[in-house]
A and B are shown apart, each in its own frame.
Chain A
Amino acid sequence: MKIAAVEPWVEAPLRRFVDDARARLALLLHPTGQVLAQAGFTREVDVMTACALASAVHATAGELGRQVDGRAFGGLHFGGQEKQMYLAPLETSRGSYICFTVFGEDTSLGLIRIYFEELVRELAAASLEAPPAPTAALAGGFEAELNRNLAALFRPRDRWEGRGGQPPGGR
């Protein structure tokens, strides 16, 4: 599965998570909706949409949790007929993130949760050794940041590959 990360320190833990848990899609994003890494997506518009929706669902569930339980809920699971999703927050020394995972019938919620716990541990450890973040997660130029991250995940070559075309000047 193709994995792309804006910051290299998240790539190896995310790859292990996706491989071990047999997830079909995974996104690592800031609670603001800014993407940090993705696995399995082929179009940037899908990443953008998924990030916006995941961020909104996380915010809604968090607020519901605070009202019902006095604190934000830890994780959220939705089950469809063939696919399911698991959305959960995680903390690192570089800040809070959300992991959005889509999985099918070849794995289970139990396995996803177990490997998610390992992802949390691995990211927490990797974040300690990672170089300082280039910019704050929620900088003033949010849209510019979003576009920069999407551009890093989906370089022009990927789009041509996806459409069966050739990049300018050939390869």
Chain B
Amino acid sequence: MSASLRPVLETLTRQRGVRASLIVSEKDGLVIDSSLRFGQDGERVAALAASVYRKARLSAKAAQLGAVTFLQLDAERGRICVAGAGTDLVIVTVADPAANVGLIRMELFKALELIA
């Protein structure tokens, strides 16, 4: 499984400004596979991003807004984008503040189709 996921992640990490891409189990917050630039802590990002995504998904469900497909968290020194397709797997990217979110979002959805 990991061999087929790696190209998906590498494509994401090649996007300008993307520092890390990970496939994460939303339930456990554990990394399934990752493509990280130097200095990125994959396990920490995976656990925290999965937790935030899970809370967003449960909140949207409680508010009767339907399924969450994309989550973007902007912070001072970077942004985290998470996309899920209703399974336990979510794809997480960590990017620079100046990265093109539209492009990242598009690539995330392409990647989701490939791993579904």
Q: Is the CB of B43 within 8 A of A108?
A: no
Residues of B within 8 A of A110 (CB): 24-25, 28-30, 43, 46-47, 50-51
Q: How far is the CA of A57 from the CA of B46 in the complex (A)?
A: 28
Which residues from 102 to 142 on chain A have a C-beta closer than 8 Å to any C-beta of chain B? 107-111, 113-114
**Shortest beta-carbon distance from A74 to chain B in Å:** 13
Q: How far is the CA of A113 from the CA of B29 in the complex (A)?
A: 10
Q: Is the CB of A109 within 8 A of B28?
A: yes
Main secondary structure of the interface of A (DSSP, over half): helix
Q: Is the CB of A111 within 8 A of B51?
A: yes
Residues of B within 8 A of A113 (CB): 43, 47
Q: How far is the CA of A65 from the CA of B91 in the complex (A)?
A: 32
**Shortest beta-carbon distance from B59 to chain A in Å:** 13
**Shortest beta-carbon distance from B57 to chain A in Å:** 13
Let me know if B27 is at the binding interface, CB within 8 A.
yes
Let me know if B44 is at the binding interface, CB within 8 A.
yes
- B43, B46, B51: the one within 8 Å of A107 (CB): B51
**Shortest beta-carbon distance from A19 to chain B in Å:** 15
Let me know if B98 is at the binding interface, CB within 8 A.
no
Which residues from 19 to 49 on chain B have a C-beta closer than 8 Å to any C-beta of chain A? 24-25, 27-30, 43-44, 46-48
Q: How far is the CA of A170 from the CA of B29 in the complex (A)?
A: 49
Residues of A within 8 A of B50 (CB): 108, 110
Q: How far is the CA of A110 from the CA of B41 in the complex (A)?
A: 13
In the complex formed, the residue of B with least CB distance to A111 is: B47
Residues of A within 8 A of B24 (CB): 110
Residues of A within 8 A of B47 (CB): 108, 110-111, 113-114
**Shortest beta-carbon distance from B3 to chain A in Å:** 23
Q: Is the CB of A114 within 8 A of B44?
A: yes
In the complex formed, the residue of B with least CB distance to A79 is: B28
Q: How far is the CA of A138 from the CA of B25 in the complex (A)?
A: 41
Residues of A within 8 A of B43 (CB): 110, 113-114
**Shortest beta-carbon distance from B112 to chain A in Å:** 20
**Shortest beta-carbon distance from A152 to chain B in Å:** 34
Interface positions of A (Cβ within 8 A of B): 107-111, 113-114
Q: List 15 A-B contacts (CB under 8 A).
A: A107-B51, A108-B30, A108-B54, A109-B29, A109-B30, A110-B28, A110-B29, A110-B43, A110-B47, A111-B47, A111-B48, A111-B51, A113-B43, A114-B44, A114-B47
Q: Lowest 6 A-B CB distances belong to which pairs?
A: A110-B29, A110-B47, A108-B29, A109-B28, A111-B47, A110-B30
